[in-house]
Amino acid sequence: MIDWVPSDERKQTMRQHDRRAMIGTAAALVAGGVSVTAAGRPARTGTSGEQARESFKVVDRRGRQRFLASAAKPPVIIGGKTYPADQRQGPDGTYLIFNDEAGNEKGGIIASSVGASLSLDYPNAQAITVATRWAGTNGAAVLEMKQMPDPALPPGQVPATPARVQLGYSTPDGTFLVLNDSRGRPRIVLEIDGDDRPTIKILDAAGEVVSRLPAASGTS
> Where are the chain's structural domains?
10-121
From residue 26, give the alpha-carbon distance in Å to each of 20, 34, 45, 129, 168: 10, 8, 20, 26, 35
pLDDT of residue 218: 64
pLDDT of residue 25: 33
pLDDT of residue 88: 87
pLDDT of residue 217: 73
pLDDT of residue 139: 96
**What value does the mean pLDDT take over residues 55-60?**
94
How far apart (Å, rounded) are the C-alpha atoms in residues 38 and 196? 51
Q: Please, what's the b/e burial string for 22-50 (b: 16 or more CB within 10 A of its CB; e: otherwise)?
A: eeeeeeebeeeebeeeeeeeeeeeeeeee
Four-residue CA torsion sign, 184, 186, 188, 193: positive
How far apart (Å, rounded) are the C-alpha atoms in residues 116 and 141? 9
User: Could you report the per-residue pLDDT of 79-105, keeping only the tens digit for each?
Assistant: 888 989 998 888 899 999 999 999 999
Q: What is the pTM of this model?
A: 0.74
How far apart (Å, rounded) are the C-alpha atoms in residues 13 and 36? 29
DSSP summary character for residue 95: E
Four-residue CA torsion sign, 93, 98, 104, 107: negative
Cβ-Cβ contacts under 8 Å for 164 (sequence gap 6 or more): 145, 146, 147, 179, 180, 182, 184
How far apart (Å, rounded) are the C-alpha atoms in residues 220 and 217? 8
Q: Which residue has the higher pLDDT, 25 or 140?
A: 140
Is the model's pLDDT at 11 over the cut of 80?
no
Is the model's pLDDT at 46 over the cut of 90?
no
Q: What are phi and psi of 29, to 5 degrees?
A: -65, -40
Size of the chain in residues: 220
Least confident of 13-22, 111-120, 208-217: 13-22
Report strand pairing: 186-192 vs 105-111. unpaired
- Computed over every residue of the chain, the mean pLDDT equals 81
- pLDDT above 70 coverage of the chain, percent: 75
- CA dihedral (38, 41, 42, 47) in degrees, to 10, reads -100
**What value does the mean pLDDT take over residues 32-54?**
53
pLDDT of residue 28: 36
